[in-house]
Structure 1
């Protein structure tokens, strides 16, 4: 094993050690949950491949975030809840010690050739080069956000388009699919277009659900983001997800609002 940069390194079959690069945006001594979500997606795909190959692909990942986690080793366990020939429902749990931090459920669905009817009404994003470079560190602390490259175009508070990328692999010395790598980024949609600065209101997300109607291609991930704050402490961040070929899915996050 090398000492090359990565967000996680595998210590054993189910245990992973986070590096300092996962430092969070709300608290730099806690893990940003984005890489952990990518780790869960990778574990689900790796379990699938060990059991049956890649004849099913990940079409939805729904994560409930049960708490925060320090920058310490975590364990990931995968269970098939609904086996099947053409669809499966799989659950992965990320734990730290005796605490469960994230529960992820994924639908895996059979691959089929539907290229002749493929299409989406979601409009394409402008190319990354058409958007200004954004220094995320001026708004968000933490090593994970600091490891990202961003271009962003703000329309109004709570409404923006952006492209996000990272040169850091999810796992040290272990191949990871483009899908898992992308799912390890998209929790950042919530901080892409705040309605108010985070020093005025905290808006952590309680969950994240991504629906993928096609597999993403490698490269920057695009966000078409809308953020809504309700009148009684709840909010919602929604995004259409893009890659170089156009839209490939959506994400949604439930927010809990806390005025400073």
Structure 2
């Protein structure tokens, strides 16, 4: 602000300064030369004032434009803030606040789409992600399969040992899943003790092998004070058919899962009646 006041003060006095210099220099003091001098000096002073103010407030204009575009374009976070005047301070403050907002939004999005116990995705996240994978599979002709599983007798674990032990079991299951899946696979906890794994570019037969490896890994895991081998899961495995939606897939996988439970639990059952050729 001090710069603007100083420039404005000097610009306003340009005609007076020019007149004083004109008189002291002994130039013609007739009305026409003096009037012409004052007019030119006034125009020059005004032009200098307007140009200087435009240069001073241009960063504020850039900031306003960037803020207007902020919902679609995050370039406001890259707006330079030169100097230490008020506009630079405002620019830095705005960038700092928006950076905090961005970090908070990412944190909230993560919390809204992640199961806090297992670190896997939740049902909402899975529902948002799967349609794009199914569309890609339909375009490329590649298979896509789903493994649905839940913990056997999980309610008994909570009733006998308490919910803290039950939570530890869920966390152990989450770690096993994260260790066993590929970077492009999707895994989510979609219910209390129910989990879903989406396997792009994976046939139903290959998914059965993956489910079997998971079954063995769960059975081998240990959480105190449970007995070794107490953590087991039942699995339903399906391969996506053409145009089949997620809910249809989950329904078929759920039927296979119940067959696994009826077969004695700790079992993998596949259902591929709608399998792609």
Q: Which bin holds the TM-score, normalised by the shorter protein? A: under 0.3
- Greater share of residues in strand: 1
Structure number, greater radius of gyration: 2
Q: Structure 2-normalised TM-score?
A: 0.21
> Which is richer in helix?
2
Structure number with greater CO (CA < 8 Å, separation at least 6) is 1
